[in-house]
Structure 1
Amino acid sequence: MDKAEVTTQGSTVEEWTRALAESTGSPGGGAGTGVMLAVAASLTSMVAGYSGDDGGEPAKIRARAQQLRREALHLADEDASASKAFGAAFRLEPGDGRDEAIRRASLEAAASSAVLGDRAIGAIDDLAWLATNGNRALVADIVVAFGALRAAVAGARTNVSFDLGSLRSAGATLDQVRTQQPELWAAVEKLGGAMDRIDELTAAIDDRAAPTEAG
């Protein structure tokens, strides 16, 4: 399969991860972040399905998780496309055209990662509900889901921050970036807070998930 045709929805796991392993950057860490969110959503759906089928809260959580899984894969493929533009901008000859291309590609990449991060934050409450009210036999799956969700949040946070920092290559200072892109700048802090919340939620059920752990 042509590397240009590799997508999360049109490739096998083996094909997609093989493309990820190549030194091309497309797909890259941002796309991997989307896949981690899809994994978290898939596990959320699975646990919700085992936690009740009477049309109550578990059914609502499962429907949201299944929609998120699809959206996360779409966002992963969008990020892979953005990565191509990002890399192409930095390969241009120095000059005003290169600076503008870097500025545009950096902002598009940051915005894409911020959307993915926002979707990940929105998934925390449903997983938290399952951690308290879901099928207790699947607590280990919930912890794995939290781990995948944290990886998605951390990836989004890092990518937004890095992409904003890349604007310095187009001549902007970090103070200018903070002033000109307040929403993207604030997203970094919001995602950091989400990571802390996931850590707290995971710690709260760790004794159930790993009862033989020493300590």
Structure 2
Amino acid sequence: MNDSHAVSTHGSTVEEWTRALAQSTGSPGGGAGTGLMLAVAASLMSMVAGYSEADERDPMEVERIRMRAQSLREAALRLADEDASASRAFGAAFRLERGPERQEAIRAASLNAAKSSAVLGELALDALDPLAWLALHGNPALVSDVVVAFGALRAALAGARTNVSFDLASLRSGGKDLDEVREQHAELWSTVRRFDDALDRIDTLTASIDHRAAPTAAADQRDERGTESSR
């Protein structure tokens, strides 16, 4: 498949989609890749939940997480395809002749792109608590899959955070400074701060289980010292 405009997450193979991503067309681009990373995180979350036993304190929690993950995967793929379409509009705006029409087209495309990235990032935030629950209560044999899911989720949030920020900054093409843009779109800008906080939380959660997923000699020594001190 040579026409990158024809690819979609639902109608293309992974090879076809990533080949289109590798082309210098921008559609699909980083935003669509962000959606795909969120779909990967959601898929792993569903898999781990399926292998985990229900917590006796809340026997329905595992099933809720699994159903939420499946819904999230579908939404993430849909948003990935929608972002690919938005990227084409964004590129078309920048190819217009300089003038008021071009500035307005860039403003509209930038704002739409920022909103789209914010929606995707908010979906990623929804995955954080369920994945944190699985890190503590999920099947311990799949802790490495939880770490990989955290990595994919971090990539999705980082992508959403960066894309919202970049797209808002593109609104300066009309002569406004960044402070004006942030003031006019305060709600969108607030998502950037929330995504920053979520990235920090993911790093903390990943670090808290990394010794279980990828034990090292140093970790083994710490465990041994802990065991000896408890005797």
TM class, shorter-chain normalised? over 0.9
Give 5+ residue unaligned stretches, structure 2.
220-231
* DSSP 3-state at the match of 1:198: helix
CA distance in 2, matches of 1:148, 1:134: 18
- 1:44-92 residue CA offsets vs partner (Å, 9 max, x unmatched): 0000000036962111100000000000000000111111111111111
Maintained 8 Å contact 1:117/1:152:
yes
Q: Quick one: which amino acid aligns to residue 39 of structure 1?
A: V
Query: C-alpha displacement at 1:157, in angstroms?
Result: 0.3
Cross-structure match for 1:20: 21
Distance in structure 2 (CA, Å) of the matches to 1:213 and 1:38:
34
1:132 to 126, 133, 136: 136
Deviation at 1:213, TM superposition (A): 5.5
TM-score w.r.t. the length of structure 1 is 0.97
Secondary structure of 2:179's partner?
Answer: helix
Amino acid aligned to 1:12: T
In 2, distance between residues paired with 1:148 and 1:122?
14
Q: Higher Cα Rg: structure 1 or 2? A: 2
Q: How does 1:74-93 map to 2 (within 5 A)?
A: 74-93=78-97
Q: TM-score scaled by structure 2?
A: 0.90
Map of 2:63 onto structure 1: 59
The number of equivalent residue pairs is: 215
Conservation of the 8 A alpha-carbon contact between 1:99 and 1:171: no
Does structure 2 retain, via aligned residues, the 8 Å contact 1:8–1:76?
yes
Counterparts in 2 of 1:27-106, with a 5 A limit?
Answer: 27-52=28-53, 56-106=60-110
| Pair 1:178-2:182 in alignment | yes
**Quick one: which of 123, 137, 158 aligns to 1:119?**
123
Q: Distance in 2 between matches of 1:171 and 1:7?
A: 36
| 2:224 alignment counterpart | none
**Is 1:9 the counterpart of 2:13 in the alignment?**
no
| Cα drift, residue 4 of structure 1 | 1.6
Identical columns (%): 72
Q: 1:172: how far off?
A: 2.0
Cα shift readout 1:18-37 (whole Å, capped 9, x = no counterpart): 00000000000000000000
Q: Distance in 2 between matches of 1:170 and 1:77?
A: 29
State which drifts further: 165-174 or 67-76. Answer: 165-174
The one-character-per-residue Cα deviations of 1:109-150 (angstroms, maximum 9, x if unpaired) are 000000000000110000000000010000000000000000
Contact 1:157 1:187 in 2 (8 A): yes
CA distance in 2, matches of 1:75, 1:51: 29
| Residue 170 (structure 1) shift | 2.6
- The structure-2 alpha-carbon separation of the partners of 1:4 and 1:213, relative to structure 1 and needing over 3 Å to count, comes to farther
Q: Secondary structure at the match of 1:123?
A: helix
The separation in 2 between residues aligned to 1:82 and 1:8, in whole angstroms, is 15
1:195 to 2:196 alignment: no
How far is the alpha carbon of 1:178 from its aligned partner? 1.1
